[in-house]
Amino acid sequence: MKNFVIGTSGHIDHGKTTLIRALTGIDTDTTREEKQRGLSINLGFAYLDLPSGERVGIVDVPGHEKFIKNMLAGVAGIDLVLMVIDVNEGIMPQTREHAAILELLGVKDYIIVLTKVGQADPDLISIVEEDIKEQFKGTALEGADIVRTDAVEGIGLDELLDLIDQARSDSVYSQKELPGRLNIDRAFSVKGVGTVVTGTLLDGPLEVGEDITIYPAGIKSKIRNIQIHEADQVKAHAGNRTAINLTKVRLEDVKRGDVLTAGHLDLSYMLDVRLTCLKSQTQAIELWDRLHVHIGTREVLARVVPIGVDRIRPGQSELAQLRLEEVVAVKKDDRFIVRAYSPVITIGGGVVLDPKPKKHKRYNEEVIESLELKETGETSDILLDFLSRRTHGLTSTKDMADYLNLPLKDVKKMVSEMVDKGELVAVGALYLSEETLDKMTRSMTETLANFHQTHPLQPGMPLGEFRSQFKKIDPRDVDAILKILQDREQVVISAELIRLSSFNVDYSPEQKAVHEAMSKEMQKAGMTPPSIEELIQDDPIRKAVYDRMLGKELIQVDRRIVLDHRVYEEALNKVKAYINQNGAITLGEFRDMMGTSRKYGIAFLEHLDRLGVTKRIEDKRVLR
């Protein structure tokens, strides 16, 4: 089961840290400055043993407005929030801001903790409770349990623990065995141990000895040790508040905001998102507004580009693209908060739909449909959309799993089913959609059709020239697609030429007569043929017929020599048979066997060497 993590939230000096100390005996105000000023600046961490015997983690996030970004860093991975409200002050500005942030980040479970009730007037307590219920109507906190507490006098703590225990037992998790991923919220050095990073494990697991990468720098390291609640562990799971000791990483090379993962993350300067503007705002989010984006434990500046609308008005949720000023490493479905550039206040937030998009036109219907599909569509449809929009068609299941943020085993099963349905085509260990294959097939066959129309007497298009028409596609992918087209008998590839299977040349009567004459001439010449220039005779008709015959009826063995295909096949078969019987063949033996000259013998045997049929060892040839 996923580890349960509790977060505290609320206005400055409403008693969050005191409450945690009363529940756990742990003081989460750890720095001298925090103790002197009487407020939390950095994230505080503790753990709590519940009446059921379960141990849960606690994140104490700072409530002061100046330290709101530290609060944002602590929210990721929290399952239950204790919204702490001082009964003497009630709901304050930071209370509302924290509540808005938590809702935007997808937190659904809350307990409202009224603090300092020991000396408060009972009527005041009732009034504050009614005000809380009224102000939180229509929010995720509506209907949350309210517990009256006083940490100093020990009031309500047992009731609070029972409610936490019940919330933990009611939680249902759909655990995904994804590569471990942790947003780093602290990094420090321990003498004799080395660099240690902490955070809540978003995806898991992570194990001691496992290789990891720290993004965005791409630093490679290995996990030396794992601690959870101050105890050494061999393995950490999603949801664990985790401290990780890393090998060969300097403290100055890692910082809060970095991402540690056992898998792969793409780096991007853009994110496609669903962006919500808070209802409480007085102004819309406009095109090119500069915003502070808080995602994971990272804060970056960005410009916003609404998609499909002119602006995002208060209370609205729209598609948008964030153009970031620094690179980030995030995944689909990660949540984020945006704050205005100045004054720095929370104005909205949302969820990542595509962590590595291209730039979009704002009102492109295809783009809008694609983003809406990524948000609400079936996983198989999202995958087909992803494959159809790649610049090349062939993709591994690992790349698909990384994009979908799903376990590899689940993606492999889904891909196998999609192949059976004819939605995907397998090419070895890679895949492409049938739709993409259709597009590429149309493009390739159109290229060949245009070549045949322009060169009606040539037997095919040179493969090198054909491949050069598809420079945006990996050459290995081009060859893989061609193999599919060959298997489907749509194209024919021979002697470095490619043609459509349906392509045929109809000679004119004059061309037909020339073709018959040249064919007889070349067959009669055998292994002592005329040169290409002598064969063509600078005659346009003979040149056109020669182009048609080349690669099919005439086989080129070097720059100036071609052989009739029947002569060529006879010579090739005789060479193989001779070597199989005698172990090797010399130039002289080949020349005598074929009744040819040294010039043609050398040309033919060197041609076989280039093809990989034979290999020269001193003055002999053997089969490879």
Arithmetic mean of pLDDT, 55-83: 66
Residue spans of alpha helices (H) in 86-156: 93-104, 122-135
Domains and CATH numbers, the chain: 5-170 (3.40.50.300), 181-261 (2.40.30.10), 268-367 (2.40.30.10), 390-505 (1.10.10.10), 521-623 (1.10.10.10)
Between the alpha carbon of residue 358 and those of residues 100, 389, 390, the distances in Å are 30, 10, 10
Percent helix, strand, coil in the chain, to 5, is: 35, 30, 35
pLDDT tens digits along 151-171: 999 999 999 999 999 998 876
How many Cα atoms sit within 13 Å of 365 on the Cβ side? 0
Between the alpha carbon of residue 344 and those of residues 67, 270, 316, the distances in Å are 11, 22, 20
* Nearest to 590, CA basis, from 577, 601, 579: 601
CA distance 492 to 540: 27
Between the alpha carbon of residue 414 and those of residues 190, 288, 305, the distances in Å are 45, 39, 34
Q: Which amino acid is at 387?
A: L
pLDDT of 174 > 60? The answer is no
106: alpha, beta or left? (left if phi > 0; alpha if psi -120 to 50) = left
Place of tokens 């609320």: 10
CA distance 491 to 471: 20
Q: b/e string for 432-464 if b means 16 or more Cβ within 10 A? A: bbbebbeebbeebbebbeebbeeeebbbbbebe
Angle of CA points 268, 78, 232, to nearest 5°: 95
The burial of 610, by beta-carbon neighbours within 10 Å (0-12 exposed, 13-18 middle, 19 or more buried), is given as: exposed
C-alpha torsion sign, points 371, 374, 380, 384: positive
pLDDT of 66 > 60? The answer is no
pLDDT tens digits along 505-535: 777 889 889 999 999 999 999 999 999 999 9
Between the alpha carbon of residue 201 and those of residues 4, 45, 375, the distances in Å are 11, 14, 24
* Nearest to 578, CA basis, from 594, 567, 601: 594
- DSSP bridge pairs for 212: 221
Q: Mapping DSSP to helix (H, G, I), strand (E, B) and coil, where does residue 548 land?
A: helix
Mean pLDDT score of the chain:
88
Do 84 and 14 form a contact (C-beta atoms < 8 A)? yes
What pLDDT sits at residue 31?
39
Residues recorded for the chain: 624
pTM of the model: 0.71
Do 256 and 184 form a contact (C-beta atoms < 8 A)? yes
What pLDDT sits at residue 45?
67
pLDDT tens digits along 284-332: 999 999 999 999 889 999 999 999 999 999 999 999 999 999 999 999 9
Do 568 and 494 form a contact (C-beta atoms < 8 A)? no
Residue 41 tokens read as 């600046």
pLDDT tens digits along 466-512: 999 988 888 888 888 898 999 889 998 876 789 999 887 777 889 88
The burial of 567, by beta-carbon neighbours within 10 Å (0-12 exposed, 13-18 middle, 19 or more buried), is given as: buried
321: alpha, beta or left? (left if phi > 0; alpha if psi -120 to 50) = beta
Residue 529 has what DSSP assignment?
Answer: P
